[in-house]
């Protein structure tokens, strides 16, 4: 019974993740650009 529950829970979480991933992927494109700029600033400051 616990095993059945855990698989349902995993599937539910996977569906939730897919839903959020679609929303996040749009944000992530901007976030990746921002983080790349941020990393470039950090590298520049460290050098």
The DSSP secondary structure of 4-20, one letter per residue, reads HHHHHHHHHHHHHHHHH
Task: Give me the pLDDT at residue 4, please.
Answer: 76
pLDDT at residue 14 greater than cutoff 80: yes
Backbone angles phi, psi at 37, to 5 degrees: -60, -40
pLDDT at residue 13 greater than cutoff 70: yes
What are the pLDDT digits (tens) for 16-45?
A: 778 777 777 777 677 677 777 777 887 887
Domain tally, the chain: 1
Task: Give me the pLDDT at residue 46, please.
Answer: 74
The domain in which residue 20 lies consists of: 1-47
pTM reported for the whole predicted model: 0.33
């Amino acid at each position: 019974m616990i095993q059945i529950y855990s698989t349902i829970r995993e599937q539910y979480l996977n569906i939730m993740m897919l839903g959020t991933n679609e929303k996040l992927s749009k944000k992530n494109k901007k976030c990746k650009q921002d983080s790349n700029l941020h990393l470039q600033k950090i590298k520049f400051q460290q050098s």
